[in-house]
Amino acid sequence: MTSRTQYHVVPDGGGWRVEHGSSADSSHSTKADAVAAGRKVAKGNQPSQLIVHNADGRIENEYTYQDDPFPPAG
């Protein structure tokens, strides 16, 4: 099974950033801009998942790009 690349939209001081692993891919002044950038990079690097966090760091939404392996076959 191919593992998914995870991208996270997280709060960053007064703005938002898109992270991949331990590195920041981009920084944005609004959450909407960060989510749009995160979707673009996640869709371009499938299979992937975009995880959007609230201002307090909790997960708000998750988006999966390409076939979802769950429920697993068998």
pLDDT one digit per residue (tens) for the chain, 74 residues: 458 899 999 999 999 999 998 888 899 999 999 999 999 999 999 999 999 999 999 999 999 998 765 666 65
Which pLDDT score is estimated for 70? 62
Sheet of strand 5-12: strand arrangement? 23-28, 15-20, 5-12, 48-53, 59-65
User: Beta 59-65 vs 23-28: how paired, if at all?
Assistant: unpaired
Per domain, the residue ranges of the chain are 5-65
Which pLDDT score is estimated for 24? 84
**pTM for the complete prediction?**
0.85
